[in-house]
Amino acid sequence: MFPIHDDNPTRITPYVTYALLSACVLVFFWQISLGDAVQQAVYSFGVIPSVLFATKSLPVELEILPAWLTIFTSMFLHGGWMHLIGNMLYLWVFGNNVEDAMGHKRFILFYLSCGLLAALTQAVFNPDSEIPMIGASGAISGVLGAYVLLHPHARILVLIPIGILIYTPWIAAYWVLGFWFVLQLVNSLISASDTGGVAYGAHLGGFVAGMLLIPLFKYRNVQLFSPAKRR
């Protein structure tokens, strides 16, 4: 199930959402330009739990930033085209409405806070991991958590491939994002904890962080659980 569009208009132009999308794409093209050196960049700018908790250290030539700062730089790196496109699709569909609910300045703080808490969630459960974590998934998961509390009844146009057939129904946000959360939870339970791949713990941590933080970041006049629109 892939979200394509929602029927939820915004009152402001989501400049921060556009800036985050642009930054992730530009950083990805920078990664491509590095050629064989991209792996060194991932180790230098990705967040490594064992380095973050100071039980291990990077080689001197890779230790460019303080470990805590890599939590934020890691949010702009991606492991491949599909990783990038998937994350940017979710940010494109859901980010504008969350930004609309809190304004530009609060949204960037909210986004980075969710990314921080997502990374820490993954790191706490794998403190000895030497595998770099990269990607905007944790921060974007926070956006999803906020969206489902703000607009649970908003309709989402989703693409559902079944064999050679493709369906594009409109489905309520609470079903789409609820399914996404359950999928992350199931995958986190059946996947190995430290073999690389997808950081499901970060997805879950980011989503919960978004739900917890949205009441603090939204404008006072913005209500949670907005009702379904009449048609």
Query: Based on C-alpha coordinates, what's the Rg of the chain?
Result: 18
106 contact partners, CB below 8 Å, separation of at least 6 = 217
pLDDT of residue 1: 86
Check: CB of residue 205 under 8 Å from CB of residue 32: no
Tokens matching residue 221: 């006049």
Buried b or exposed e, range 45-62, using 16+ CB within 10 angstroms: bbbbbbbbeeeeebeeeb
* CA-to-CA dists, residue 65 to 41, 68, 154, angstroms: 11, 8, 41
How far is 133 from 49, CA to CA, in rounded Å? 8
DSSP state of 225: S
pLDDT of residue 153: 96
Q: Which residue bears the tokens 């770099």?
A: 132
How far is 212 from 181, CA to CA, in rounded Å? 15
pLDDT of residue 194: 53
Going from N- to C-terminal start, the domains of the chain cover: 2-217
CATH number, span 2-217? 1.20.1540.10
pLDDT of residue 196: 61
* Residue-level pLDDT, tens digit, the chain, 231 residues: 899 999 999 999 999 999 999 999 999 999 999 999 999 999 999 999 999 999 999 999 999 999 999 999 999 999 999 999 999 999 999 999 999 999 999 999 999 999 999 999 999 999 999 999 999 999 999 999 999 999 999 999 999 998 889 999 999 999 999 999 999 999 988 875 555 678 899 999 999 999 999 999 999 999 999 886 655
pLDDT of residue 163: 86
In DSSP notation, the chain reads: -EEEEES---SS--HHHHHHHHHHHHHHHHHHHTGGGHHHHHHHHSB-HHHHTTSS---GGG--S-GGGHHHHGGG--SSHHHHHHHHHHHHHHHHHHHHHH-HHHHHHHHHHHHHHHHHHHHHHSTT--SPB-SSHHHHHHHHHHHHHH-TT-EEEEEEEETTEEE--EEEHHHHHHHHHHHHHHHHHHS-TTSSS--HHHHHHHHHHHHHHHHHHS-TTPPSSPPPPP-
